[in-house]
Amino acid sequence: MNYETSGIMKHLEESMQMSCVQWFSLQYGELSRLLHHSPNGGKRNAREAARFKAMGTRPGFPDLILLYPASGYSYLAVEMKAENGKQSDYQKEYQKLIENTGAKYVICRSFDEFMREIKSYLMF
């Protein structure tokens, strides 16, 4: 994948994620503060990257975390991907770590998929 294609995919994922978070906040206002995004990605200079790493930023951390136990899981981790986007090795490692904690990890490739996953997870 070249840089131009990568940038386009990242923009699509970010736009989709913003729509998903907005929908979640409107549908589940009482839970909206429990849905969190950790700003892991993006370009940073070396000093800022080192500072974020020292504060606990980890490569591969999922895009969204819903800190609400439901459906027999302790929490829900959501990785947003464009239709043809692939998980990095770090993301695959995080998926295994998260699932081993008793949480649910999903990859959502569309707004509709995100809605289905949330509704299924919350079952209300």
Give me the number of domains the chain comprises. Answer: 1
pLDDT digits (tens, 9 = 90+) for 13-51: 899 999 999 999 999 999 999 999 987 766 778 888 888
Q: How far apart (Å, rounded) are the C-alpha atoms in residues 23 and 40? A: 22
Give me the domain span that covers residue 106.
3-122
Q: Which CATH number do you get for residue 32?
A: 3.40.1350.10
CA 23 to chain centroid: 15
Which pTM does this prediction carry? 0.86
pLDDT digits (tens, 9 = 90+) for 77-108: 999 999 889 999 999 999 999 999 999 999 99
Radius of gyration from C-alpha coordinates of the chain: 15
